[in-house]
Structure 1
């Protein structure tokens, strides 16, 4: 019986060990040749990775750049949509606040006018009427002065 064991060192070594009795020399030779072919395949794979690794790395970087650009573009588009929605919402809220403020101001003025009216204070309209009458009197007095009548 023959056992093939892999020993890890700086390089792989295949050891063929006899357990019982004499092994068939042709079988031993076939195992050695098979192990050598496996060793050569490993070296070939290692060399290929060394040669192609740089190319593969560059290709992966290029693909990563494409994915990043697509992702960035999609994120930018989504961000623009979010900005537009935020602007619309801000405008709606601003309009509602302005409308509400106007209503509050109107209610305040009406209540203040009622309180002042109940205290006997003249209203804005009363003051405007009084101002109009005083201006009319001043104009009449000026006319009388110019005509010489007292």
Structure 2
């Protein structure tokens, strides 16, 4: 029984195995490597930082709307007759809205410095990703 099981395992490994070339080993390492994934994530973070730095230089648009209605029972207001004939207290209502556009004009070069720093960190992340890919290739070849 043990011999039959050993023979089955031996035949199954031979049947389900595949040929692994150097190029396919390198491709698998580049697709599934932990350091490569980490480098790609840092590259994406650097791209987001560049976008965030440009966003601080753009104008900001804000909107604020408000509706108020107040009934003045304590004041001696003139009573009004509604269209249906009921007597009610006079009330005041109002709607106010504001739209604002804010543009940073001068911050001592902080906006420009932030953009340049984010672009520099993006180029560093690109170079680091390429060096990690090179190192993975060399490690696979040396094995």
Name the TM tier (shorter chain).
under 0.3
Structure number with the bigger relative contact order (C-alpha 8 A, sep ≥ 6) is 2
Which structure carries more strand by proportion? 2
Which structure carries more helix by proportion? 1
TM-score, with normalisation over the residues of structure 2? 0.27
TM-score, with normalisation over the residues of structure 1? 0.26
